[in-house]
Amino acid sequence: MSIFKKLFGKKKNSIEELTNVIEDSDLDIEVSFTSEQNLKDEDYKYNHCFVFYCLNEESFNTITKEVENHDEVHLLSLLRNQSGVLMFDFPGIPGDSKEYSEMGDINWQQEFDDWLEQIPAQFLKEEYGNLELGEDLIALLRKNKERICTNIEEYTIEYWEDTDHSKNKETYIPAMVVSFKSSKKMSLEDELSENQDGMNIVLTSGGGFLKTCSYSLADKVSLDQEKDLISLTDYWDQNGDMWTVEEIKPKSVQLLHWDTDTYCDH
């Protein structure tokens, strides 16, 4: 089964389930939601990209599952087919490989260039309809090459080597990319995530994508640092602006818009 049929196959969403409960109970309640049926393919016009750093295979699979769990229209609102979602890793380093003990000597800038060259052949196909998303993604990654490579070289390798994951020779995944088309956009003006139809609230709320990822990853990857694992994440919105996870709070996630030092919370 393809990853897209597995992740984004037809399923009954929570809105449909709630509506069915109301109808079955013969309750006189009027419920109004933005419906996925009201959205057309052209409404999914906002590209978003996340890069998660320093993962093992189990945490890679966990993030994949969380994307699935947040695909509905009142959450990430994804275009749930091969043209709308791309997920892949910066090739992992197996624990039994020669490179594993020499990761600090790897030329990550060259590795990054080689990686970008491999993406079209491995993940982009005209029949998938994902060429536009893929080309935009490659351009975004190439533009932010220095940022991504610096995070790998100066931070994540050091974190990894201080964990039991390294001692146990688990495969080290330098970075995972999650890119998708959504009907929602991130807004620099919505600092308190008050827009119920925007991306801000989905990323900053206690039940949102990033907070849930953080919770789900807690027992998958253990890093020796004060911040939560999900803090090793970069996010680029529909404008190509970068946001970083500033703090994982008990009931929210605080994001920082890199160019303007503007905080977004909930």
Inter-residue contact 231 to 248 (CB < 8 Å): yes
pLDDT one digit per residue (tens) for the chain, 266 residues:
334 444 554 444 444 443 444 345 454 434 444 556 688 889 999 999 999 998 989 989 999 999 999 999 999 999 878 889 999 999 899 999 999 999 989 999 999 999 999 999 999 999 989 999 999 999 999 999 999 999 999 888 888 887 788 889 999 999 999 999 999 999 999 999 999 999 999 999 999 999 998 888 877 776 545 544 555 889 999 999 999 988 888 899 999 999 999 999 99
Residues paired with residue 234 on neighbouring β-strands, in sequence order: 51, 244
Q: What is the DSSP letter of 250?
A: S
pTM of structure = 0.85
User: What are the domain boundaries of the chain?
Assistant: 45-264
Helix (H, G, I), strand (E, B) or coil at 257: strand
Show the CA angle centred on residue 221, arms to residues 205 and 70, nearest 5°.
35
Tokens of 104: 């600090």
User: What is the 3-state secondary structure of 158-207?
Assistant: HHHHCCHHHHCCCCEEEEEEEEEEECCCCCCCCCCCCCCCCHHHHHHECC
